[in-house]
């Protein structure tokens, strides 16, 4: 490095870090949508959730598929666990989170069956979301985490 001028060193430092980050980022972003099962078959999908050993994926066409975590390849399995860890519901919040998810799900089912209108579905969804946010506030759940959990509940 001593043979390089100060200017060259500066340029090297400016380019090296973004270059290294790019080298890591591009393959991982590409890998992020690709999942492989134990038999080696690959499938493009988005991870939705992991619950009691069952992974829910969303295919590019929007359809959902449930797959046993154990049936994935070791690498995919680890990635699911890593990503699901980011959206794990804190234990002290699980009852309220469960209530939130169940209520949204039930409202959607009743709406789909024509038992309630859209206005009622929206109104009651807002009530239960406010209730959940209130509990998050009482438990000092950070705002970013709260939004993440709301998003997770709405996707389930």
Partner 1 sequence: MKKQILWMWMFVAATAMAGTPQPAEVVYGRVRDPFGFPYVDTGRIRFFNGAVECAQYEFGSILANGMNYRVALDLDSGGAPYTPHAVQSGQTLTVTVEVGGVAQPLIPTNRLTVGAPGSSVRLDLCTGTDADGDGLPDEWELLLCEQSGGKLSGIADVKPQDDFDGDGLSNQDEFNAGTFAFMATDLLQVKDFERVSANRIKLRFLTSQNVSYRVIATELLPVGSWIPLRFALGVNDPVAYRDLVGDGNYQTIYIETASDALFIRLATQ
Q: CB within 8 A of 96, min separation 6: which ones? A: 131, 132, 135
Give the rounded distance of the alpha carbon of 154 from its chain centre: 11
- Restricting to residues 71-130, name those near partner 1 by CB under 8 A: 90-92, 94-95, 98-99, 102, 105-106, 109-110, 113, 115-116, 120, 124, 127, 130
| Residue listed under structure tokens 């992974």 | 55
Computed over its alpha carbons, how large is the radius of gyration of the chain? 22
Phi, psi (rounded to 5 degrees) for 58: -115, 125
Nearer to partner 1, 20 or 65 (CB): 65
Give the rounded distance of the alpha carbon of 90 from its chain centre: 15
Nearer to partner 1, 20 or 126 (CB): 126
Nearer to partner 1, 131 or 148 (CB): 131
Nearer to partner 1, 76 or 135 (CB): 135
Q: What does the binding site for partner 1 look like in residue numbers (CB under 8 A)?
A: 52, 90-92, 94-95, 98-99, 102, 105-106, 109-110, 113, 115-116, 120, 124, 127, 130-131
């Amino acid at each position: 490095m001593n043979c390089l001028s100060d200017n060259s060193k500066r340029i090297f430092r400016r380019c090296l870090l973004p270059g290294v980050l790019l080298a890591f980022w591009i393959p991982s972003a590409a890998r992020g949508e690709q999942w492989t099962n134990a038999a080696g078959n690959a499938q493009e999908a988005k991870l939705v959730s992991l619950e009691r050993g069952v992974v829910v994926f969303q295919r590019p066409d929007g359809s959902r598929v449930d797959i046993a975590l154990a049936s994935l390849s070791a690498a995919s399995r680890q990635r699911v666990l890593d990503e699901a860890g980011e959206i794990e519901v804190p234990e002290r919040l699980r009852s309220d989170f469960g209530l939130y998810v169940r209520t949204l799900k039930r409202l959607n089912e009743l709406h789909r069956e024509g038992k309630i209108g859209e206005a009622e579905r929206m109104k009651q969804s807002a009530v239960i979301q406010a209730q959940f946010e209130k509990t998050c506030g009482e438990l000092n759940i950070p705002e970013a985490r709260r939004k993440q959990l709301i998003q997770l509940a709405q996707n389930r």
